Each structure stands twice: as structure tokens, then as C-alpha cells.
Structure 1
Amino acid sequence: MTAPVQGTVADGFERVREEFAAVVAAEPDLGAQLAVRLGGRTVVDLWSGVAEDSLLALHSSGKGAAYLVVALLVQDGVLDLDRPVADHWPGFAAGGKGGVTLRDLLAHRAGLVGVEGGFTTAELADDRLLAERLAPQRPHWEPGTGYGYHAFVIGALVGEVVRRATGRSLQEIYDERVRVPYGLDFYLGLPESEEPRYLPVRPMRGTAPAPAPDSLTGIAFNLNATPPTDLVEFANTRSVRALGPASSGSVGSARGLAKMYAATIGEVDGRPPLLTPATLAEFTKPHATGIDLVTGERDHFLLGFEAQGVRYPFLGADAFGHSGAVGAQSFADPASGVAYSYTRRSFAPGGGGGARENERLAAAVLDAARLT
């Protein structure tokens, strides 16, 4: 039996509710949330099959928060995009990586997608342990000659640069500068007190073909480990949620992510935008064109953030955000002033932004926003 759609939409966004209802009717066990802000104001706040304040496993959605922290530190002058990583982290120069810059890391051009034999769950859960394993490794391709999604490791790599430049973890800075001031229900490290609101992620129905463990895709998604990483089991592990690895361990709600992205591009709660026009322009330039060596996607990345205007051509060219493996999708579209977030409890075939419903939901949102 399909759970009812609950929540509200602003005048003019009624079709978005209809599309959301159609999505959840097509997949009765889905469990989903949809939140949209326009010019900082909430215009869509819907849920079905979960509670209004449920927290869900959002996997790689946390990368968006990690890139936001880096953007803030670049904006402050604390980090320089074109400075070699090894200037902050000398051990990183091993294996021919001495010339890799922070910009290269953010553009997924470093070639450091994984390690031989894979990582343990304990390592994947802890960005410090990941950084220790990655520092001495040789890249899987010559840095700068191509790019590929650093799925499980990019948060640890940029996080180690942040830690060495500031003396504090990326997660701490995110809490202090973003999550707490805005009261966001989106966490890189879920407190024990919030655990009762967490709904364990459910596996998808049926199976999808797995890439070869020794392929770049298999290595990037830790399928070369023994046993290979199961994303459902990983998300449902308390230590992962507690430590909040920035690449893979985020937990939250659609409301939290929509508000975070709204705050990057406009005024929210009386606060000015988190990013200045110059910083926003820098981080929304294409930085990884051609074919992603890991995912096969074309023109996949801006600076860190996924190029959402490539994935959804009805968005502006500078639309930025990040998907999550369960089928979550979140972005800001500066051209329209829309901040969008869709979260789901059950894994979607294709995962991440490949969840088919995101295109229909986001298109309905943009149509409504343009008429408002």
C-alpha cells in the first residue's frame, strides 16, 4: 500500500506535489522527502513513507558540504587552489604526486581513487585513516591527464588538506560555520542523540550488474576489498554515521540539504550568502571535461561539485550540487534561485543522481519557479 504524501507546497507548485505523488505511487516501499527553496523561501516540503523529521543515509551528498567548506576557506584566503597539496601534507608527495594541487584534487584529476586490496570498513569510516593509507600510494593514472570520480576518498583527501592548514577537521568547520548557524538537519557525524530519528537504508529490489573488482570503477567503489563494500550495510553501521566520513557517511533530510544549498547562493535566515559572487564563479566553472574514467559520465564536475547543468540541461550551466548513492540529489541553481533536495530510503537502480525520478521532479520544480 502506498504511503500518503504529506507536507505543503506554495501556490504555483501544485504540479510538483502531483509529480511527487506519482513517484511514490510507482514504488510503494520508497520512503522519500522533497524540499525546495526559491530565493531562500521554502516552496516545497513533502514526504511520504517516512516521518517529517526522519534522517536518512545520504552517502555522497556529504561531498557537497565538504566542497562548501573548502570554498569558504579559499574565500578566506586560508587555502590556495593552485598550491601543491604536498606543501600542506609532505607525505602526499610520495608516488609521483608532488605536483598535484588542491584544484587537481577537487577536479578528481589526482588519479588516487583507491588502494590495492581495498579498504576496511574501519578505514572507510575514518577520514584520518583513509588519508594515512592514501598518502604513499601511486596514482592510477598520471595526475592531470584524465579525471575519474574519487568516490570513497575525495572527502578524506581534501579533509586532510583542511586539517593541516587549519588544525581542525573539515567536519568541525562544517558544524561551526554551516550546520549549527543555520540549524541544518544534515550531518557529517551524527550525534548519538539524533540516532532515534535515523531510518536504516533499504536495499533495492532486484540486482544490478557489478563492475569488475580490479577495474577503475571497482577500485573506486572498494569492490576490490575482501569482502567488497556493501553500501547498504555500510550506511547502516553506527560507526560510519558517528564519524561522518565526508565522502560517504552523511546523514540528514531533504530540508537540511535544500537549506544548505539555498544559503550558498542567497540570503537565508537574515544571513548573507555563504559564497561571494567571485567564489561562486570559481567553483562553478567546468573543471573536468570529457569522459569520467570511473563512472563513464561526460563533463562530470565543476570544481568539486557535480555539474548539474550537464545532468539536467534545463538548469543553468553553473548549477552545482551532489548526488548520493541511494538516489538522493541536491543542488543550487543560481540562475533560477532554486535550491533542490530529494532524498529516499530505498536504493534506486542506477543510484545517485541516476534515480530517474529526479529529472521529472526537478523539471517540475523549475517550470513552477519560472512561472512564479
Structure 2
Amino acid sequence: MTAVHGTVLAGFEGVRAEFDAFLAGEEHAPGAQLVVYRGGERVVDLWSEGVGGESLLGVFSSTKGAAYLVTALLVQDGLLDLDRTVASYWPDFAAEGKGRVTLRELLAHRAGVIGLDAGFSMEELADDRAIAARLAGQRPFWQPGRFFGYHALVIGALVGEVVFRATGRTLRDWFEERIRAPYGLDLWLGLPESEEPRFLSTLPMLPTPEQAAEIEAGAASPYGLGGIAFNEHAPGNVDLYDFPNSRAVRAGGQASAGGIGSARGLAGMYAAAAFGLDGQGPLLKPDTAAEFARIHSEGKDLVSGVAKAFGLGFQSYGPNFPALGAGAFGHSGAAGSLALADPRQGFAYGYTRRRYAFPGGAAPENARLLRAVVRALAA
């Protein structure tokens, strides 16, 4: 049995028991972290063997939550307008019929610019400015605004370029100044060399024979929309699990999937956003949080081919996690991480795991962990 370490406040023992039960049934113990805030108070802080409470992991697309939170703050401050065109900030983006795409549509994954015809080099994928420069001239893969599809590896670069053009400062700089540094969060867009000793590389997925067969049966062409969105058609592309294992990616602060952090950092960011931390009020006004959480795209995602729902960047979780309240907002990551705030039920949640989870995205155990959190809050 994998040992569980850390603490829970009185009333949250059931969350620890659920975390322990999941780990006991996990054949390949992943090394996981789980943190929950009730309002601005940390009530759950757990980790298992294979990681420490202060270990830093690749959080993959949970990184996107940081990018969207910066964007929400700049909209709230009046520095960005959701209904202005992207090209009004970034003229080069108007090429190939993209001139009418609004920032709102871009955030809702409706722009159709999911990747490049020829793909990116790994050096380019580590650099958001390089991604943006190449995407400016790319023809959309569908009529912008008509459909939606997950801009998996590029949305942070696209939104970040709008931020840079509008303010003269990078998204990474805004995140550091407004969010990470004031709260001392262990969530980094650009991991400093001094923090490298705490980083633990992501381990590859070890599927069961049944899962391996399912993966094989579901294998799609690298030249389809999903393959292009995940750069699978590019020469020299690496397996996705290996992406944050590159120092260039960790140092570059790529805002779609290159973030490095812990469950403490992820949960703390959403607690600061929705409830406030350390005696400071919430970063987001209720109206701003509600607008960014409001569903803007729902139905079949053209990239993944499955039903999904997105607010303004943030994922909407109702169909996947029915324990959550309406208006919960957050994002998951490919290795299984999940981070979110549920304003109606008053909590923020952060979960990470070291070993890549099948089938990718928020790991299945998040459903039972979230149910345990909601039960504890109700009691």
C-alpha cells in the first residue's frame, strides 16, 4: 500500500480516506498531490510516495488556467476588450481570413488556428512568441466562429500575443506580478534554475492490456485535426508526456502546457482568484468570474471528437463532474492534473500526479475525490 502523507482539518477525514483508497487500488502508484481550500483556508494538503508536498511537477494544460486568469484580470481592468478583434491588437493575425475573430471567440476555442500545416519544431513549441509569429499567417482549419476545437498547444501563445500587443508586457510578466509572486504560489510560467532541484520528471503511462488495446483501436491519423493540434505530424515531435521534461520548456514558460507547479500552487491560484488569500480579497470580481465561467462553446469538439464545454478558456465540468456547482471554472492537464474553483460551494481544488494517466486529461480519480470534498463541505 502506498503511504499517504500530509494533513486534513477536522471534518475532511473522508477526503483523506478516498485519496488513500484510490492509491491502494492503483497498480502503478503515480505519486500524487491533493490540496483543497475552503474559501481562503487550506483544509486538505496530502501527497503520496513518489512525490513530496513541495515537489514540482509538469501540470500540462492546467497551465492554461494561469493564462486565462491573467486575461480575466486585464479584461476586468479595462486593458482588454472581449469583443474587439484579435487583429485590432495584433494586425498580422488578420491574414488568411482571420480578421473578424474576436478575443472572445479566440478564448472559446473558436478561431480554428490549432496548429501549423507543417508543424512546429520542439524549439518553437517551447517559445510562445515563436508560436504566435508562425500562427499569424496560418489559414484556419475551420470557418472561425462556426465551430470549436481545443487549441491544445497554442492557445496560451495566441492569447499571450494579444496581451503583449495590448499592454507591452508578456503574459508571463503579468502572471508573476499579479498572481504568483504576491501569494508565493508554487506555480511557475518559466521555472527558475534555483527551483530545478524540486522538479520531478513526468513518467510515461503504463496502461493495462485492456487500456493498451483501447489506445490502439482509437489511434487516429497524425494528419487529422487532433494530430495537428498536438503537433503529432511534425518531424521530431516527442511524446506529450515528455514535454515538461525538457528544461527549455520549463524555462520558457509556455502558457498552454509548459507550467510547472504543485497541487498547492494550483489550488492556491484558484483560491486567490475566487475567494482571496492571505488577507487579500479575491482577484476576480463576481461578474468577471461568472463571465469567464459561462459556457461559450458546447457540443462536439472538432479536435478531440468528443463532447466538451468551454467558457472563456476555462473548462466547464458539469457533464464530467456532477458534484460541482454551476459556474465552477478551471482546467485539467494531460497527465491527470485538475485545478478549479467552485464559487457556489466555496472551495478551490488542486490535484497533480507524476505518472501520465489513461486516457489523458483529468484523471478518473478526480471524480471520487471531488465527491469526497463536496460531502465534507456539506457536513
Question: SS state of the match for residue 367, structure 2?
Answer: helix
Residue 172 of structure 1, CA deviation? 0.7
- Range that drifts further, 58-67 or 298-307: 298-307
> What residue in structure 1 maps to residue 202 of structure 2?
201
> Per-residue CA shift, 1:29-63, capped at 9, x if unaligned?
31000000011111110000211210001011110
The superposition leaves residues 94-132 of structure 1 with CA deviations (integer Å, 9 ceiling, x where unpaired) of 000000010011000000001112111111100000001
Native 8 Å contact 2:98 2:140 kept in 1: yes
Distance in structure 2 (CA, Å) of the matches to 1:246 and 1:156: 6
Structure 1 residues not aligned, in runs of 5+: none
- The answer (yes or no) to whether the contact 1:286–1:299 under 8 Å persists in 2 is no
Output the CA distance in 1 between the equivalents of 2:62 and 2:118. Answer: 26
Distance 1:202 1:258 in 2: 23
The question of whether the paired residues in 1 share the 8 Å contact of 2:121 and 2:237 is answered with: no
1:181 is paired with a residue whose SS is: helix
Match of 2:329 in 1: 320
Give yes or no for contact 1:190–1:244 (8 Å, CA) kept in 2.
yes
| Match of residue 224 from structure 1 | 233
Contact conserved, 2:122 with 2:236, CA < 8 A, in 1? no
The answer to whether 1:345 aligns with 2:345 is no
Q: Name the counterpart of 1:72.
A: 73
What SS is found at the alignment partner of 2:278? Answer: coil
- Does the 8 Å contact 2:84/2:103 carry over to 1? yes
Alpha-carbon distance between aligned partners in 2 of 1:296 and 1:269, rounded to the nearest angstrom: 42
Q: Show the counterpart of 2:38.
A: 38
Partner residue in 2 for 1:13 = 12
In 2, the alpha carbon distance for the partners of 1:136 and 1:259 equals 38
Q: How far apart are residue 297 of structure 1 and its match?
A: 3.5
CA contact (8 A) 2:341 2:347 kept: yes
**Partner residue of 1:265?**
274
Q: How does 1:1-372 map to 2 (within 5 A)?
A: 2-27=1-26, 28-49=28-49, 50-206=51-207, 207=212, 208-209=215-216, 210-353=219-362, 355-371=363-379
Q: Which moved more, 1:289-298 or 1:97-106?
A: 289-298
Query: TM-score, normalized by length of structure 2?
Result: 0.95
Query: Does the aligned pair in 2 maintain the 1:309–1:320 contact within 8 Å?
Result: no
Counterpart of 1:363, as a letter, is: R
Dislocated runs of 4+, deviation >6 Å: none
CA distance in 2, matches of 1:362, 1:134: 37
CA RMSD of aligned residues (A): 1.1
- Cα deviations by residue, 1:199-245 (Å, 9 ceiling, x for unpaired): 01000113433321011111111111113331122210000000110
C-alpha distance in 2 between matches for 1:195 and 1:211: 36
CA distance in 2 between partners of 1:175 and 1:262 (Å)? 16
TM-superposed CA distance for 1:299, in Å, is: 4.0
For 1:169 and 1:229, the matched residues in 2 are separated by 27
TM norm structure 1: 0.97
Contact 1:310 1:317 in 2 (8 A): no
Identity %: 59
The count of aligned residue pairs is: 369
Instruction: Report which stretch shifted further, 83-92 or 27-36.
Output: 27-36
